[in-house]
Structure formats: structure tokens, C-alpha cells
Structure 1
Amino acid sequence: MKKRIWLPFSLVMLCGLVRARGESAASRKSESTPDAAYIDVAAGTLWTEPRIHRTIDTPSLLNPADLRLWISNMSVEDKLWLVGKLETQALFGNKVMILEIQDDWVKVAVEGEPTPRNELGYPGWLPKKQLTFNKRMQRKSDQPFALVKDKTTWLYHNKKLTKRFIEISFNTQLPVVNWVKNAVKVITPSGGKKWISAGSVNIYKSFSDIPKPSADDIIHTAEQFLGLPYLWSGMSGFGFDCSGFAHNIYKHHGIIIPRDASAQILKGKKVSKGDLQKGDLLFFAHQNGQGAVHHVGIYYGRDKMIHSPNSRSSIEILDDIWQSSYAPEYAGARRYLENK
């Protein structure tokens, strides 16, 4: 039986659009609402407002959510409609803070997705049914965890890995209970203890114990997503937007960077065009590079860039940045890697 949190009532294709909407004075939770909850679906999709979705978005709003069905059913035009209506996504087991409640929708801030918009995390609305409050998850937050390294993988009911429970995403992080040769037992938000293939995860004692990556580590991790469809505000192995792609590749290697391109360009070490190294983030902006940042990619070396371009395409390696349509809008680069 799932323990859910029943809260009381109380073509623009550019993937780095600056989300400038601030938090209103009304964005606050009821005093009787739990401070924190956990995402109880493979990836909870956060909206700018409650109940603005279409019928075609229904698979993303259920519990369990079917993100693969949702994304595959959308045409390019359907995907473009999402621009400016979605905020971000939060993965299975991700802790969120409750900000506001409207009937069966909850506004949350996603822990681990830095943004200047809210110090608690990236804000947005999702259905209440996709949240759960689990004291065991909270108590085990400081113990070793399994970090998913595959694009997606399955959780199973049994250690033989024959009875599927739920498909989860790259970068999903779950507390570890035990492990055997081929399987790891983890705690889930509301489904009890489940098993995952040992080959699909890395196990760390803490986030700070994730090894510092080299530039090649960043590139190798990014390459596994080649061909993955773009999704506005996507933050999972089912679909990424440009800044979500960069954020997640770095997070997988223990480096937390801001969620949005417009904030990513303000952090890290500024790098000149002549000093670019693999793994650097490249930014592009309107008004010939002088306006609002709208895109970010990861420098691949030899004037190439791996990136998630827009709603009409998939993650790709751009062969020559400086001969492409992005060149006139180049706005600079930032380095988040330590020199090794």
C-alpha cells in the first residue's frame, strides 16, 4: 500500500529561455502542510501554473507516470506548445519543499536544482498524487546511495530482477539497504524496498565522495545520450533540454551547477574562446551574443559541441560551432572542472 502525502486544502525552440518569473507573496504553504516531500514517479514534471495541461499530457501527470508514452506521442508542434509552460523536472526520490497548495496541485521547490528564483530550489507545480512523505527516506538521507548511470533502468520487486516495478532515470539517487553480487536493494519513496541491477548504478557513501571527473569523463557520460529527444524543461534520461542536459552531466560527477543557462553563465570560471577545453560550457545569446542567454552546450573539443538543441531535434554533436548558425550568438564560456 503506497503511503501518499494527502495535503490539506488550505517557433520559439530556444532551450535556455530566461525564466524570470519571481515568487509571489501568495507562494507559501499552509502551516499544517509538511515542509518536505519526495517525488513518487520516475520524473515529476513541474508546470508554471496548475491545471494548464492538455489531454495529451495526461501520461506525465499520473502515478505511475509514463514519460516514454507522453514524449513519443507528441508531435513537434505539441512539444513546442510546452515552451514557457513547463519549469523543470524532479526525479524519483528527489526531495522537494512545499511552497503552496491549490486543491490537488502542489507548488514545490526542487532540492539540488539551484536557481536565483528561490533559495530552496527550482519552483513549479505538479499533481499532489506524484508526491509522498516518507520518514524512512528522510532518516536514510545520509547513508550510502545508489546513483543510476544508465539512461534509464528498472527497479524490481525481487533480487533476481525478474519482476519489474518502475522504470527510472539516469541520476536517480536512492538510499542503499544492502547489495549482493548482481543487485542492490534500495529504499523507494513509497514502494518499500526494491532491487536494481548493480551494473546500472554506482554506490557512494556521500555526494562528496563522488570522484572528481576529468574532461573525458564528462564527454563520455554525455555521449550516451546522443539521439535522445529534446524536451523543454527535461531533466531525465527520457528527455533533456539544453541546460538540463549540462546540469545533469555535471551533477552525475558530483558537481552542482545552476539549473538554467542564464544562471550557469554567471558561475564557474570565465574562459576565453582561445582557451577552450573539453567539458567547458558554451553559451549563446540573442542580439549577437549581447542579450538574454538562450542556449548552452558542452565543448567537445576540435570546435565541436555536444548539446540538446531544440524541440525539433535530439542530442547531437555539432561538427563546427564557428561555421554554424550559433556562431554569431556566442556569448562566452565557463569552466566548472578543476584542472587535473
Structure 2
Amino acid sequence: MTIEEGKQALVAVSAATLWASPKSAEDTDRLALGQPAAVRDWVAGMTREQRVDGLVDRALTQVLLGDEVLVSDIEDGWAHVIVTDQPSSLDERGYPGWLPVEQLETAPTETSETLPHIVSSTATSIRDEPDGEVLIPGVGLGTRLPIIDEEPYRGWARVALPGPRPAGWVRLHDVTGAPDKPEPAASGRVNALSVASQLLDVPYVWGGLSAYGVDCSSLVYLVYRQLGIRVPRDAHDQSAASTAIEPDDAKPGDLYFFARNGKSIHHVGVATEPGEDGEPMMIHAAGNYGKVVHEEFTTERAETLVGAGRVFDDE
């Protein structure tokens, strides 16, 4: 089946980058545009300045393997889509943007019963057989995989793939059962920090949402996605969707929000336990460091802190 306007489609690469327009992608971005998408090599080929500033107003977000999009337009090999699983104030249906049509597929043809799983390792690969050739590299944390309901083979399980492709194989220790309901606060706060800590030192990539590069709000999105909690993609929308609390009342797993001189919120971090001196600490994707870090508030962060938000429903 072909990709059609007005119909749903599934992302067929590990991470498809959503662009502001087909012209936003440059020659230096070609590694991210193919099938498969070589996101790891694309990120590795950029300087810190290119990752932090060079993608601003060009790359919007990324969409993970198997995620559903609504195709609204097709033009010269590009599809304008709505990412329905990434809430956004830009469109009530989800996050809008452009990606190459070749990175999309229709629903899987596999008819076997499947069990919903989610990638729990930082990254894994889908192979053509256990320990075989890589079909889809760089499948990252938070990717939902439909595992075929049959006996595993020596620590490997079959996974249904988008489109007419035969099933692939994934290591069972790289996945876990996908949560069927939001994780409660008691365990969720602990697990939120565990997930965020997995991404420490991952490069900062504006618009990134993969194990090879994230920005501040996609780090938050991935953390809560892993816990079965759907939050918006961008920091200002995350603030609007969370319950406002006083920053001094923040608990681990809550969110800190930052803005400059009355402008829109531009940064977000995941609260952790305070430091030994009682100062607030957070895990965040920091452009000034070019990576995900865990630190106390710097002077600039303290001066631009404008609030905190709670996503968990505490008892």
C-alpha cells in the first residue's frame, strides 16, 4: 500500500526528523533523511554549535519507529504530517511538520497476535534473525515495539515492523512490557530519575528525540513516555499541561521551567534531590554544555527560574 493524503502512516526508521519545511533540510543533513536513517552518524558529524544553534528553526522534533502520523499533504517526495502522539499548541491534533515519504510505511502486514513493549535500553537494533544483519539501527529508548506473541528464541523475540516487511528480531533484555496505564507517583518519581539518568552525557541536539541527541523538552517527553504518561513535546506546552507548584515544593520527577525577561518559557529540567547544601538540582539537556547533565542551578538558571510543574498525581 502507498502513503496517501488524509490517511495514517507509521514511521519506518529509528528516528525520523520532522522539519519546518522540505527546504529546511540541507545537504549536511542527508544522513538523517534516508531509509534507514543514520541518526548516530548525522549527529556525530556536527559540531556542538551546529547541534545547539544550527538546527534552530529547521528541525522541529523527531518521531520514533512505529509511531503513528496523520499525512495531510504530499509534495515532491515529502509528507506534511501531524505527529498525533506529541501534543502541541501548534495544532490540536499533534505536532505538525515535514519528513521524507520514504521514511513512512503503512500498517504491518504481520497478522500474529502482538504484545506491546517499549525499548528500555538506551539503544538497540532490529535484526533479520537472532544475531543477524541489522535491519534498523539505532532504535532508541522509548520506542514502542509490538512483540509477536510466541516463545522467544535464545533471548530474542520477533517484532512486527511497519509496512510489508517480514518481522525482525530484538534482544529481549533491551525491551520491557509497555505500561498500560500511567505509573503512580510513588514508583514513578524513582523511575523518572532512572530514565533521565540513562540519558546523561547524550549530546544536545535541537529538535532531537533519540538516544543520539535530545533537547531539554524531548528529554522530559522521553522520561514520561517511558512511564506511560503522555506530555506535550515543547517546554512551554509542558508548563501549561502540568500542575503549577512552588519551586521550593518540587520533588524528584517534577519539572523546573525557565524564561528570560517575561518571554516564553525556553528551558525545562527534571528535578532531582537537592544537593548537600540544600540547593535545587536537576537533570537537563543543556545547550551551554552540549549534552545532558545533572547539576545544581547555575546563577543564570536561578535568575531565569519562573516556576515548577507537577505531572504525577500524588496521593
Common topology (TM > 0.5): yes
Residue 199 (structure 1) aligned with residue 170 (structure 2): no
Name the counterpart of 1:147: 118
Q: CA deviation at 1:111?
A: 2.0
Report the TM-score when normalising by structure 1.
0.84
CA distance in 2 between counterparts of 1:85 and 1:52 reads 5
Residue 36 (structure 1) aligned with residue 8 (structure 2): yes
Aligned pairs for 1:76-91 within 5 A: 76-79=48-51, 80-91=53-64
Q: Which runs of 5+ in 1 are unaligned?
A: 8-32
| Contact 1:227 1:316 survives alignment (8 Å) | yes
Q: CA deviation at 1:6?
A: 5.0
Aligned pairs for 1:84-233 within 5 A: 84-134=57-107, 136=109, 143-158=114-129, 160-167=130-137, 168-177=139-148, 178-180=150-152, 182-190=155-163, 191-204=165-178, 207-209=179-181, 211-212=183-184, 213-233=187-207
| Contact 1:161 1:196 survives alignment (8 Å) | no
| Per-residue CA distance 1:227-269 (angstroms, 9 max, x = gap) | 1001111111111110000011011001111111011111222
| Contact 1:146 1:186 survives alignment (8 Å) | no
Does the C-alpha gap of structure 1 residues 39 and 311 become closer, same or farther in structure 2, counting only changes over 3 Å? farther
Aligned pairs for 1:9-88 within 5 A: 33-79=5-51, 80-88=53-61
2:107 aligned partner, one-letter code: N
| Contact 1:230 1:311 survives alignment (8 Å) | no
Does the C-alpha gap of structure 1 residues 156 and 210 become closer, same or farther in structure 2, counting only changes over 3 Å? farther
CA distance in 2 between counterparts of 1:179 and 1:311 reads 48
| Contact 1:283 1:332 survives alignment (8 Å) | yes
| Contact 1:273 1:333 survives alignment (8 Å) | yes
Name the counterpart of 1:251: 225
Residue in structure 1 matching 2:285, options 298, 308, 319? 308
Name the counterpart of 2:299: 324
Name the counterpart of 1:339: 314
Q: CA deviation at 1:161?
A: 2.5
| Per-residue CA distance 1:142-188 (angstroms, 9 max, x = gap) | 95212001111011111x33332222111111212134151221101
| Per-residue CA distance 1:11-52 (angstroms, 9 max, x = gap) | xxxxxxxxxxxxxxxxxxxxxx35111111110001101122
Does the C-alpha gap of structure 1 residues 147 and 179 become closer, same or farther in structure 2, counting only changes over 3 Å? farther
Q: CA deviation at 1:209?
A: 4.2
| Per-residue CA distance 1:272-319 (angstroms, 9 max, x = gap) | 1221111110000010xx32100000001101110001175100012x
CA distance in 1 between counterparts of 2:288 and 2:35 reads 25
Alignment RMSD (CA, Å):
1.9
Number of matched pairs: 303
| Contact 1:231 1:311 survives alignment (8 Å) | no
Does the C-alpha gap of structure 1 residues 99 and 265 become closer, same or farther in structure 2, counting only changes over 3 Å? same
Residue 241 of structure 2: SS of its match in structure 1? coil
Residue 82 of structure 1: SS of its match in structure 2? coil
CA distance in 2 between counterparts of 1:81 and 1:73 reads 13
